[in-house]
Amino acid sequence: MMNDNLDFPGGDEDGEGPSSPWPKRLKISVQSNAVDGDDRECEGSFSYCFHPKREQKGKHCEVEGEQETYEEEEDPGSTVTVRPRLVTLTDPEVLDCYICFEPLSSPVFQCKNGHIACSSCCIKLGNICPSCCYLIGHIRCRAIEKVLESAKISCRNTKYGCKEAVGYSKQNDHEKTCIYAPCSCPLFLGCNFIASSKQLYKHFCRKHPTSATSFLYNCVFSVSLNVKGQFVVLQEQNDDALFVLNNRDEHLGNLVTVCRIGPCSSTRGFPFTLEAKIHGSSVRLRSLTKNSQNWLEEPPSTGFLLIPSGFYGSCDQIKLDVCIQRNAACQRTYFV
C-alpha cells in the first residue's frame, strides 16, 4: 500500500529528472510455518512501496551492504531478502550513436519516428534526421538517457589488470587515461609478449636480461649505434622502465630519438639529451620522450637528432652520449 505521507524528490524544470533512486513497487511472497497457532504451512503475498531507510506500514527495513532484509513487526520470525537484479545487454552497440558510432551521452535526441542521435551529430546534420529527414534535436529521448545513467561497462583492458567499471558514455575517457593499456615487447621479432607496462618491465627483466643497456636517471652513459642498426633498448636500473633509442638511416645521415615504452595516456615526458662527437665537433639534442605502446620504426616528425654521415667512425658506428632525466634538469657539466 502506498504511503501518501512520503515526500517524493522533485524533477527538473521540464518535469523530467534523473532516474528515481527509490525502488519500484515490489510484490513479495512470504511463507510462514505457523499461522494462528496452526502447524499447517500456508503461503500469502503482499505488495508495498518502500524506501530503503524508512519504516513503511509496520515493516522495518535494515540495509546490510548490497542486500536488504525486511522484517514484519507482526511476525518477527519471517524475513524477506531482496538481492539486486542484473540485466544483460547482449549488444552494447545499441547504446552507440547511429551516426558517429560513438557511445551516447546525455542529452540524446530523437525524431518523430524514434530515430536517435547524439547532440553533436544533430548540430552537424542541421537538425535533419538522416534516416527519415524529419527534424531532430528538439525532442529528448528520456528512456535512453535513463538507461545510460545506470549502464556500466568494464574497461577493455580488463585482461591486462584493469578492474574499473565506468559509465557507458565515459568509457572512451577512461580508456584514454588507463594505465593498463597493452604494450608489446620491443624485441618483437622474437617475442610476442603483450601486457601492461608494469608487467612488460618485469617480463623483460626475466626473459631478456642481457638485451638492454642498463642506465640510471640523470647520469650520462655511452651507446654505440651501427649506422644500419634500427634501435637499442634501454632499461633503467631502479624502476625497470624501458626506453628505445630509435635509429634510422637517411640520405643526409641518421635520425636518432628516444621514446618510452608505456601507455600513450601518460602525458609526462622524460627530458633527454643526445650528443654525438667526432674530431672536436659535436651535435646535440635536448627534447622530451614520447610514449609508445610498441616500438616505432618511423621516428617522430619532431624531437630527433640528425647525425651527419661525417660523424661515422671507422667501423661505421655512431657513438652517443645519452642522458635521460627523471628530474627537471640534467647537469650540464656532464657534457662539458
C-alpha grid cell for residue 12?
527538473
Does pLDDT of 118 surpass 60? yes
Q: Which letter does DSSP use for residue 35 in this model?
A: B
Mean of pLDDT over the chain: 75
Higher pLDDT, 120 or 310: 120
Does pLDDT of 309 surpass 70? yes
Element (H or E) spanning 256, and its range? strand 253-261
Residue appearing with cell numbers 552507440: 96
Beta bridge partners of 62: 69
Q: What is the pLDDT of residues 122-137, one digit of tens each?
A: 999 999 999 999 999 9
Position 203, amino acid: H
If one counts every other C-beta atom within 10 angstroms of the C-beta of residue 54, the result is 12
| Structure confidence at residue 53 (pLDDT) | 43
Map out the domains of the chain with their CATH numbers: 91-150 (3.30.40.10), 211-324 (2.60.210.10)
160, 163, 176, 165: which is closest to 102 by C-alpha? Answer: 176
Q: What strand order describes the sheet that includes 116-118?
A: 116-118, 108-110, 139-140
pLDDT band of residue 301 (cuts 50, 70, 90) is low
User: How far is the C-alpha of 180 from the C-alpha of 143, rounded, in Å?
Assistant: 34
Element (H or E) spanning 244, and its range? strand 242-249
User: How far is the C-alpha of 137 from the C-alpha of 240, rounded, in Å?
Assistant: 52
245, 270, 239: which is closest to 258 by C-alpha? Answer: 245
Does pLDDT of 41 surpass 60? no
Please count the residues of the chain: 336
For the ranges 20-24, 63-67, 290-294, 330-334, the maximum mean pLDDT occurs at 290-294
| Structure confidence at residue 47 (pLDDT) | 38
Does pLDDT of 40 surpass 90? no
pLDDT band of residue 6 (cuts 50, 70, 90) is very low
Q: What is the pLDDT of residues 225-238, one digit of tens each?
A: 887 777 899 999 99
Position 224, amino acid: S
User: How far is the C-alpha of 165 from the C-alpha of 86, rounded, in Å?
Assistant: 15
Structure-derived torsion over alpha carbons of residues 29, 32, 33, 35, reported in degrees to the nearest 10: -130
User: How far is the C-alpha of 72 from the C-alpha of 236, rounded, in Å?
Assistant: 65
Element (H or E) spanning 150, and its range? helix 142-150
C-alpha grid cell for residue 298?
618511423
Q: Which pTM value belongs to this model?
A: 0.60
If one counts every other C-beta atom within 10 angstroms of the C-beta of residue 180, the result is 23
| Structure confidence at residue 272 (pLDDT) | 94
pLDDT band of residue 310 (cuts 50, 70, 90) is confident
| Structure confidence at residue 214 (pLDDT) | 93
User: How far is the C-alpha of 142 from the C-alpha of 123, rounded, in Å?
Assistant: 19
Percent of the chain with pLDDT over 70: 68
| Structure confidence at residue 116 (pLDDT) | 93
